[in-house]
Amino acid sequence: MSRYGSALGATLAGIANRFSTARRLPGLAPEHRVDGQTWLVTGATSGLGLAIARQLAERGAEVVMAARREAGEALTQVASAGGPAPRRLDLDLARLASVRAAAERLAEDGVRLDGVVLNAGMVAQRSRLTDDGLDEMTQVNFLGHFLLMQDILRSGVLPTGRAPAARVVVVSSESHRSAEALDPATLTAAREYGARQSVAEYGRTKLMVTTFAQALARRLHDGDRLQVAVHALCPGAVDTNIAREAPSWSQPVLKGVFRAFFRAPEAAAEPALYLACHPDLSRRTGVYLHLMQEKAPSALATDHAAQDALWSAAGAAVARP
């Protein structure tokens, strides 16, 4: 079994990664700013998403904080970072109608984005179907973001062909390497799993996410012209509430381990900010960072046939009935 295929394995891998001495990219310089830019961040009201939103604001961005829950305190935190006043966008990735409505709201308001951070995600402890009839973890982690990107690209909310290019930053996970090859024919099928299999299922959804990022990068690179720069990253193990569905008896232990050994969201946001703000990354596409190390994604994620098959299956899954 892959080290990412169980909760214990994933936890130990996360701890090991935190203390890795592998060579890393230099961080952002103070002059690497995004003044005058507008960025959308999903899952922006807590954890890693909030840290990303706050740090984008510190570097001058107007942040659209997309989330399904109220954002009062989070909005206050981002507003205090010194950038333009942030705005909240209601977005529930577990409801395709909510995703469409969010994209329509942006278009109606005349929003033009300079970048998007697809950050929201979950680890479900058991299989559940959404009201759309899709596996919840698959929909929240992948299909909802897939639909959002289709809609904002189609409407021009995220413009293509600009110089410098707009950017998409996709938060993935090294756990994508643990997943077996995807079968697009079963993408929308009900998934039967429980707590023991949830981490492996999470890795499966992150293979979808990483494959999607690579496919989007390829589709938005028109010959020598870069339409939109698309990058992905694994932030490492982060002290967030992503394990909120773990059994109640395990919560105190998990919280203690997370707090002691995992990175705080403010530190874990570094690779996402690097991909969003470094000027060189508007001239490249398809970059994958693990922490602050540039790596190649798994061979499954970079296979063009697999990318095209996933794209077709996802398009069918989110199509209007």
Q: What b/e sequence results for 79-117 when a residue is b if at least 16 CB atoms lie within 10 Å of its CB, and e otherwise?
A: eebebbebbbbebbbbbbebbbbbbeebbeeebebbbbb
Among 4, 193, 202, 274, the active-site one is: 202
Helix and strand numbers (H, E) in the chain are 12, 10
202: annotated active-site residue: yes
Q: What are phi and psi of 166, to 5 degrees?
A: -60, 160
Residue matched to tokens 């299999």? 197
Closest CA to 204 of 172, 176, 184: 176
Number of other CB atoms surrounding residue 10 within 10 Å: 23
Instruction: Say if CB 195 and CB 247 are below 8 A apart.
Output: yes
E-assigned strands of the chain?
Answer: 38-42, 62-67, 87-90, 115-118, 166-171, 221-222, 225-226, 228-234, 288-290, 293-295
Q: Which residues contact 137 (CB under 8 A, 6 or more apart)?
A: 122, 123, 124, 191, 201, 202, 205
| Active site amino acids | 202
